[in-house]
């Protein structure tokens, strides 16, 4: 039976937004193989909080393969093996959601949670988060790198084998009040579709709620491709809220990549430090009723007196 640890990093709060995966295989009570891959999520919307955790930006994954292509080489081992994960419901949830998002069948998976193992074998008042347990056990790794986290997860399981005298990782449930959990095969779910981007046409537009008041002003400073600095601002008009950019395309009411970047949550070229406003903008867009769209205002040139 294949035994391997897995870890996912996600772009935002959605379980189907995996942007990186790491795996570590165990044979003969040691880690024998490690793999790490970047993944392009279905939409390039990265929440600032997620970026602060793993440091992955939209630009890092823009040219990477999507979930099915990345996971294809690993699915045979996953389906027939025993999966380890630290806080396994999260990582197995990402795996299943990622498959379902592309309309792929979701097979049953068996797993052990190393967070639960650590709480029984290596309890500590400071907690049993991956980084804390690894530090107590002397496991050296770079936290929140998917490949490194998978390796640390595998090493924690192996340390538990040594501490309890179990024959191997698969034998841990025989010496601990622990059981292997099997997630049933999931239903066929509809393919993922990006929300609220219908009818954009050729202009920089986004969906917003009519008449909704913004709590505070939202403005972003964006670095252009030639190094120029532009401003993308959320403004209110009688017909709704909309984004306006000061670049040449925005001035001529053409679709602007700077506005698109903010709509997508792409902070690669964000100069201002208001990352929290990227999430606020996402929430405004997500809460907008269908059919409401607004366009960037033409910026009038102000002639010098």
Q: Looking at residue 197, what is its pLDDT?
A: 40
pLDDT given at position 212: 40
Whether residue 250 has pLDDT greater than 80: yes
220 shares a domain with 123:
no
DSSP assigned state of 296:
P
Tokens of 129: 């988060």
| H or E element at residue 222 | strand 218-223
Distance (Å, whole) CA 135 – CA 205: 48
Indicate whether 95 and 176 sit together in one domain. Answer: yes
- On whether both 176 and 210 belong to a single domain, the answer is no
Give the pLDDT confidence of 4-16 residue by residue, as tens digits. 999 999 999 899 9
Q: Which pLDDT tens digit goes with each residue over 27-43?
A: 999 999 999 999 999 98
Average pLDDT rounded to a whole number, residues 277-288: 77
Same domain, 41 and 166: yes
Residue 280 CA from chain centroid, whole number = 17
| Same-domain pairing of 140 and 45 | yes
pLDDT reading at 300 higher than 50? no
Task: Supply the range of the domain harboring residue 139.
Answer: 3-183
Do 134 and 252 lie in a common domain? no
The SS3 of residue 288 is coil
Residues 88 and 129 in one domain: yes
Shared domain check, 141 and 179? yes
Is 194 part of a structural domain of the chain?
Answer: no
Residue 87: give its domain's CATH number. Answer: 3.30.420.10
Is residue 256 situated within a structural domain?
Answer: yes
Domain assignment present for 75: yes
143-to-14, 102, 112, 119, 166 alpha-carbon distances in Å: 21, 29, 20, 19, 27
Average pLDDT over every residue of 232-253: 79
What is the C-alpha to C-alpha distance for residues 286 and 279, in angstroms, rounded to an integer? 10
| Mean pLDDT to the nearest integer, 180-201 | 59
Task: State the total domains in the chain.
Answer: 2
The mean-pLDDT minimum among 26-30, 125-129, 234-238 falls in 234-238
């Amino acid at each position: 039976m294949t035994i391997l640890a897995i870890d996912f990093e996600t772009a935002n709060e959605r379980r189907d937004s995996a942007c990186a995966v790491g795996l570590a295989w165990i044979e003969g009570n040691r880690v024998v193989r490690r793999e790490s891959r970047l993944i392009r999520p279905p939409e390039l919307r990265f929440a600032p909080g997620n970026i602060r955790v793993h440091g992955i930006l939209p630009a890092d994954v823009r040219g990477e393969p999507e979930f099915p292509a990345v996971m294809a080489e690993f699915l045979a081992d996953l389906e027939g093996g025993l999966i380890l994960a630290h806080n396994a419901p999260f990582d197995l949830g990402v795996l299943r959601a990622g498959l379902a998002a592309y309309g792929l069948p979701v097979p049953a998976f068996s797993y052990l949670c190393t967070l639960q193992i650590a709480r029984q074998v290596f309890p500590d008042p400071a907690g049993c988060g991956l980084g804390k347990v690894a530090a107590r056990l002397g496991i050296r790794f770079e936290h929140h790198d998917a490949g490194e986290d998978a390796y640390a997860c595998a090493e924690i399981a192996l340390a538990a084998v040594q501490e309890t005298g179990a024959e191997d990782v698969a034998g841990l449930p025989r010496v601990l009040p622990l059981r292997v959990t099997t997630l049933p095969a999931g239903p066929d779910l509809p393919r993922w579709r990006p929300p609220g981007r219908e009818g954009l046409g050729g202009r920089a537009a986004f969906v917003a709620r009519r008449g909704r008041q913004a709590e505070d002003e939202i403005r972003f400073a964006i670095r252009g491709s030639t190094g120029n600095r532009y401003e993308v601002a959320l403004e209110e008009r009688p017909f709704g809220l909309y984004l306006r950019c000061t670049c040449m395309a925005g001035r001529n009411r053409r679709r602007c990549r700077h506005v698109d970047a903010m709509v997508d949550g792409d902070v690669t070229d964000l100069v201002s430090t208001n990352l929290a406003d990227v999430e606020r903008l996402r929430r405004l867009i997500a809460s907008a009723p269908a059919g409401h769209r607004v366009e960037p205002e033409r910026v009038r040139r102000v002639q010098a007196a």
